[in-house]
Structure 1
Amino acid sequence: MASESRGDFVRACALDELKEEGRTLVTGEGTPLAVFYHEDEVFATDNRCPHMGFPLTDGSVEDGVLTCHWHHARFELSCGDTFDPWADDVRTYPVEVRDGDVYVNPDPERDESPAERWAARLEDGLERNLRLVVAKSVLGLADAGVPSAEVVETGVRFGARYREAGWGPGLTVLTAMANVRPHLGEEDRTRALYQGLAEVANDCADEPPRFDQEAFGARDVSYDRLKSWFRENVEVRDADGAERVLRTAIANDCSDARVAEMLAAAATDHRYLNAGHTLDFVNKAFEALDTVGWDHAEAVLPTLVRGLATAARAEEQSSWRQPVDLASMLEETFDELDELVAAGESKSWTAPEEFTETLLADDPETVYSALTTAIAEGATVAELASEVAYAAGTRVARFGTVNEFSDWNTVHHTFTYANAVHRLARRTGATELYRGVFDAATNVYLDRFLNTPPAPIPDRPDGDADEGTEAHLDGLLAAFDAEGRVDAAGRHAAQFFDRGGDPARLRERLGRGLLREDAGFHTFQALEAGFSQIDVRDDPEEIRTLFVAVARYLAAHFPTRREREQTFTIAARLHRGETIHEAGGD
């Protein structure tokens, strides 16, 4: 029914007609309004059910309750508040009866701004693990101009509080998506936040909250003593004691670099904790603080302690002891570490030719000798970590598909661990992180059979080939649409790069491919670690190999059911005011 305006109100209908029909649909200022007559009163709501847009004029009203017939969401008619939190509250509008006509104000002043409303709904979505609510909230916050860092902060604070085990996959994915967000297309940037927040909500679902320890009252304890205390408590698996020490270091205003050194030292006192996840979580927690601010350190960093104290230690595994006792070899090397570092002081190191192939050698002594020589010649932790991270990425790029599918995770763990060592080394340069470099290199060695035979890096195209760069971007997504097209995905990524395609567009397309899937934890990690390593490289051959590694890993894990993408698409259509429910559909 068309409306007539009178001041802030528009005419909806004659009161007698409304009494007879019980409801009517009015368009006011472009907003479809449902007007109801119930129990001798007139009420007006948005006609779109806030859950999925079903027309509420097709619903029912009884005992003051408006019920949507699609998913049976119920609303208190006078105020619009829902009985079912997954549905959101429906908006209500002021009404007046004048001279036998009903008028509605389609644009009343609200007590809360859109930013405040959607921030509250995001909290609701996280608390109840409601993906559709999270998606709608992220879209609403973006439309309200809320900076993405504030949205990430909400997720980080929530994940840090409501998971007893502490930092986990959800917060890691959220941080990874915040890191790659600048490399994505505009719509995918919002989708990345949605995916990360949905992972946090799922990770915390049905989990008890964390209860904090307190910092010591002392404020004059030296950093060296705090670092020693922290490592000792982690060594004996005393998470509570370690947390108190860490909180004391933060309260004593230790710099982020020094706190990172403390955590990195504890994370490398033993070998390759929890298949590399422990150190990766440490790195991601600091990257999260880069986004949300160091003032959140007291809430965020203690979430790492339980993982450090309870982690499985690789030297306890047979693969590190038999047939070669790698753990003992490393301990002997670490006994000489201070002397090697001292020998390299004031020296400048450049990686020799074929250094990557040396790191990929079949003999651990060859690998360890190359690393110790490099340290004595002045190689910094960051320089060596960069070389090892590239070697680990090469293992992924050359992964043979004749292996068991689960072995993708073996090479993946090595790569993400090496990336974490590199990222932390750029933050602290702590000597202890050389041990992380050796651990990563050890896993590159242990992964050698997964490159036997190695999958070939795609050939460069002939100069007269007629496929353009766009065809390769389209081909990349097409490869993700079919199971098992691992080599095709790597070829399209490599040849797009070879033909002079903009690497930024390739990243954008890889990100789009990831974000439309129900990606698993490791797949999110793979994209972000690849992007992170590409960021710090100038050598086109290295960049090309890393793009191949990312594309092949993603293709191995796609396609999925894409349920999360369907949820996001519904939320986006609702946000744009589009109709979701089609009358007469099957």
Structure 2
Amino acid sequence: MAVDDTGSDEYSEAVDLDELRAEGRALTAVDGTPIALFYHEGEVRAVNNRCPHMGFPLTEGSVDEGVLTCHWHHARFELSCGDTFDPWADDVDTYPTEIREGTVYVSPAPRRSDPPAVHWRERLDDGLEQNLRLVLGKSAVALTDAGVDPAEVVERGVTFGVRNRADGWSSGLTILVALANRLPDLDDQDRKRALYQGLTEVAGDCDGEAPKFEQEAFAATDVSFERLRSWFRENVEVRDADGAERVLRTAVAAGYGPEKLTELLVVAATDHRYLDTGHTFDFVNKATEALDLVGWDDEERTAEVLSSLVRGLATADRAEETSSWRQPDDLAAMCEESFARLDDLVAAGEGETWTEPDDFTERLHAADPETVFDVLEEAIENGATVEQLASAVSFAAAKRVALFATSNEFNDWNTVHHTFTFANAVHRAAERTDATALYRGVFDAAVNVYLDRFLNTPPAPEATGDPDADPEAALESLRMAFEQQGKVQQAGDAVADYLAAGGDPDRLKAELGNALLVEDTGFHTFQAYEAACRQFDAREDPEERRDCLVAAARYMAAHYPTRRSREQTFSIAARLLRGERVHGDADDDAGADESSPEASADD
């Protein structure tokens, strides 16, 4: 029999050796930690009694040939060291033992001594690699509790995502960055939920996908930026993703910073109209925002993140190839005519200061496309910057969502949503670069605002808000709207009432964020929340700010409630890390499907 002869006085008396030998197992507690003791093959072994997967008592498991098996989900552990056979389960802590005069003593210190942050960083990587939601939930909670900067967690998710999906940047990474942008709006527990939700989306996007293999930068890095931009556009134009990636990596290696690299991307992204219903440009924006979060200073990281966009740029569907942009009005041709005048319009506006007219949104909502093009050209000629014009068009797009008529087909929510999130992305890019070519993105957004006009015909009743409303009652009405299907108008009215009555906007954004994060939220709803909050923050006019959050609330209410299976997994993770009992709950059958190890770790 192995005996620990350290003689430490810190060991705690546990059980009579003969009793343990006769029973085969025993349960004790050392400094509040439940310890399972096993007598197996002539050896005394001690492990934490709580299965690291979901907390089931391991004394109710079985031991055979040195393998301890939990009977709840059949997680298996090597008994002497605690290592698991099943990565979804995690390793179990083991403890040194001593035999003194026929009595077993147990050390309170587990053999593993890694700090929690070190362990959970490793488990975060495991969860991403194997798409294990419960592991990702535990990691998000434990790393936050250990004081790890959320930016580090986001960086690990972004790095994994751009390296492990050959097709490059997609919805999962967009969700992770969108939620990371809004972390300051959320309370402590919802920040953990946001990291968990974002990480699970990245893992799901990469699950089963081929990894991305990098192209190399050219050896010649002294090429002018203008030539690199021309090369990049040409390679994207002919759909040569590999060639475009080499050019982009060369621009990074040449030392160009965020403004120039953004220009390189957005010029190519606006050479054609409204790529992939706006997703391509939004991905460009989110990739640059990811680097804002984790830093542009690392050349290789910057190249990895930005090169993940190239395949999407090269393969995207181009809106001018669709009938809606060609019939009955040739909107694509009208765009090209305006673009041919862009340089002259910008030159005419130099030295001018543009102030948005009171009727600008109304004119952008006109039923005649000529009116829309005229108002944009007039604004540029009068000195409107890309950022100013993108901001104005973003609000016009948000207003379409705020007034979306529920008599339309349900899928048409995404039509107005895509216009809004695309316009928001153009606005964000305009804060980073003032490249003249970015006006083309503003025109694309405005054309879609025009095309979406039928979805406000007739418009939904406008939520203007009651200044005499009770803010607390308005919040409760908002919560109830998310608990019942189809309460779209109720949700919008509740937001308007809350703000009109002087409610705290920060609290409202936090409430909306919580509603977002407890549901099985889809890609577009994450986008809607983030874009609406950002447009809210970018505005001063109270009515415009109101309409942005009304738009988010109405869109969310149209898609809620859901089954909330992801929240069930997060709740389990949080409770386990607090040391709470999970197994044996009365509501087990109402939650995630736990019929298999994979399901319980992944639902």
> The TM-score by the shorter chain falls in which range?
over 0.9
> Does 2:54 align with 1:47?
no
Corresponding residue of 2:235: 233
Query: Aligned partner of 1:192: which letter?
Result: A
Structure 1 residue matching 2:417: 3-state secondary structure: helix
Q: Distance in 2 between matches of 1:564 and 1:358?
A: 43
Quick one: percent identity of the two aligned structures?
64
Q: Distance in 1 between matches of 2:32 and 2:571?
A: 22
Q: 1:263 aligns with which of 258, 262, 265?
A: 265
Residues 51, 58 of structure 2: 8 Å contact kept? yes
Structure 1 residue matching 2:104: 3-state secondary structure: strand
Residues 172, 198 of structure 2: 8 Å contact kept? yes
Q: 1:353 aligns with which of 352, 358, 372?
A: 358
Q: Distance in 2 between matches of 1:142 and 1:9?
A: 32
Corresponding residue of 1:366: 371
Change (3 A) 1:10 1:501: same
Query: Aligned partner of 2:194: which letter?
Result: A
Structure 2 residue matching 1:501: 3-state secondary structure: coil
Query: Aligned partner of 1:434: which letter?
Result: Y
Structure 1 alignment gaps of length 5 or more:
none
> Does 2:563 align with 1:558?
no
Residues 465, 499 of structure 2: 8 Å contact kept? no
Runs of 4+ displaced beyond 6 Å: 583-586
Q: Distance in 1 between matches of 2:467 and 2:51?
A: 57
Cα RMSD, aligned residues only: 1.2
Corresponding residue of 1:197: 199
Deviation track 1:135-166 (CA, whole Å, cap 9, x = no partner) reads: 00111111211110000011000000000100
Change (3 A) 1:583 1:300: closer
Corresponding residue of 2:249: 247
Query: Aligned partner of 1:230: which letter?
Result: F
Q: 1:510, CA displacement in angstroms? A: 0.2
Q: Distance in 1 between matches of 2:189 and 2:222?
A: 50
Query: Aligned partner of 2:176: which letter?
Result: L
Query: Aligned partner of 1:257: which letter?
Result: E
Structure 1 residue matching 2:63: 3-state secondary structure: strand
Change (3 A) 1:405 1:62: same
Q: 1:459, CA displacement in angstroms? A: 4.0
Q: 1:6, CA displacement in angstroms? A: 6.3
Corresponding residue of 2:79: 77
Structure 2 residue matching 1:25: 3-state secondary structure: strand
Residues 8, 107 of structure 1: 8 Å contact kept? no
Q: Distance in 1 between matches of 2:9 and 2:373?
A: 81
Q: Distance in 1 between matches of 2:147 and 2:555?
A: 35
Structure 1 residue matching 2:148: 3-state secondary structure: coil
Structure 2 residue matching 1:34: 3-state secondary structure: strand
Q: 1:462, CA displacement in angstroms? A: 6.2
Q: 1:443 aligns with which of 429, 448, 472?
A: 448
Corresponding residue of 2:390: 385
Q: 1:537 aligns with which of 539, 542, 563?
A: 539
Q: 1:500, CA displacement in angstroms? A: 0.2
Deviation track 1:349-373 (CA, whole Å, cap 9, x = no partner) reads: 0011111101111111101101101
Query: Aligned partner of 2:26: which letter?
Result: T
Q: Distance in 2 between matches of 1:177 and 1:228?
A: 34
Q: Distance in 1 between matches of 2:236 and 2:162?
A: 20
Deviation track 1:230-263 (CA, whole Å, cap 9, x = no partner) reads: 0010011000000000000000000110000000
Change (3 A) 1:275 1:579: same
Q: Distance in 2 between matches of 1:454 and 1:210?
A: 46
Corresponding residue of 2:598: none
1:158-307 to structure 2, matched below 5 A, reads 158-294=160-296, 295=298, 296-307=301-312
Q: Distance in 1 between matches of 2:96 and 2:295?
A: 42
Query: Aligned partner of 1:124: which letter?
Result: D
> Does 2:422 align with 1:432?
no
Structure 1 residue matching 2:182: 3-state secondary structure: helix
> Does 2:338 align with 1:336?
no
Corresponding residue of 1:318: 323
For normalisation by structure 2, the TM-score amounts to 0.95
Corresponding residue of 1:119: 121
Query: Aligned partner of 1:233: which letter?
Result: N
Residues 178, 192 of structure 1: 8 Å contact kept? yes
Structure 2 alignment gaps of length 5 or more:
1-6, 590-603
Q: 1:7, CA displacement in angstroms? A: 2.3
Residues 479, 485 of structure 1: 8 Å contact kept? yes
Q: 1:543, CA displacement in angstroms? A: 0.6
Residues 243, 305 of structure 1: 8 Å contact kept? yes
**Segment drifting more, 454-463 vs 499-508:** 454-463
Q: 1:109, CA displacement in angstroms? A: 6.1
Q: Distance in 2 between matches of 1:7 and 1:256?
A: 60
For normalisation by structure 1, the TM-score amounts to 0.97
Q: 1:108, CA displacement in angstroms? A: 3.9
Residues 163, 212 of structure 2: 8 Å contact kept? yes
Q: Distance in 2 between matches of 1:459 and 1:415?
A: 20
Corresponding residue of 1:416: 421
Q: Distance in 2 between matches of 1:290 and 1:546?
A: 24
Residues 385, 437 of structure 1: 8 Å contact kept? yes
Deviation track 1:94-120 (CA, whole Å, cap 9, x = no partner) reads: 111111111111224644221110000
Q: 1:513 aligns with which of 504, 512, 515?
A: 515
**Segment drifting more, 201-210 vs 111-120:** 111-120
Q: Distance in 1 between matches of 2:235 and 2:465?
A: 53
> Does 2:375 align with 1:375?
no
Q: Distance in 1 between matches of 2:584 and 2:236?
A: 59
Q: Distance in 2 between matches of 1:184 and 1:144?
A: 18
Query: Aligned partner of 1:308: which letter?
Result: L
Residues 35, 45 of structure 1: 8 Å contact kept? yes
The number of residue pairs the alignment matches comes to 579
Q: Distance in 2 between matches of 1:143 and 1:21?
A: 39
Structure 2 residue matching 1:42: 3-state secondary structure: strand
Q: Distance in 1 between matches of 2:71 and 2:525?
A: 39
Change (3 A) 1:462 1:111: closer
> Does 2:406 align with 1:404?
no
Deviation track 1:253-309 (CA, whole Å, cap 9, x = no partner) reads: 001100000000000000000000000000000000011111221110000000000
Q: Distance in 2 between matches of 1:524 and 1:426?
A: 22
Change (3 A) 1:462 1:212: closer
Structure 2 residue matching 1:351: 3-state secondary structure: coil
Q: 1:8, CA displacement in angstroms? A: 2.5
Structure 2 residue matching 1:96: 3-state secondary structure: strand
Q: Distance in 1 between matches of 2:76 and 2:362?
A: 65
Structure 2 residue matching 1:86: 3-state secondary structure: coil
Residues 252, 302 of structure 2: 8 Å contact kept? yes
Query: Aligned partner of 2:331: which letter?
Result: L
Q: 2:25 aligns with which of 15, 23, 26?
A: 23
> Does 2:35 align with 1:33?
yes
Residues 94, 110 of structure 2: 8 Å contact kept? no
Corresponding residue of 2:599: none
Q: Distance in 2 between matches of 1:282 and 1:219?
A: 23
1:433-582 to structure 2, matched below 5 A, reads 433-461=438-466, 463=468, 467-582=469-584
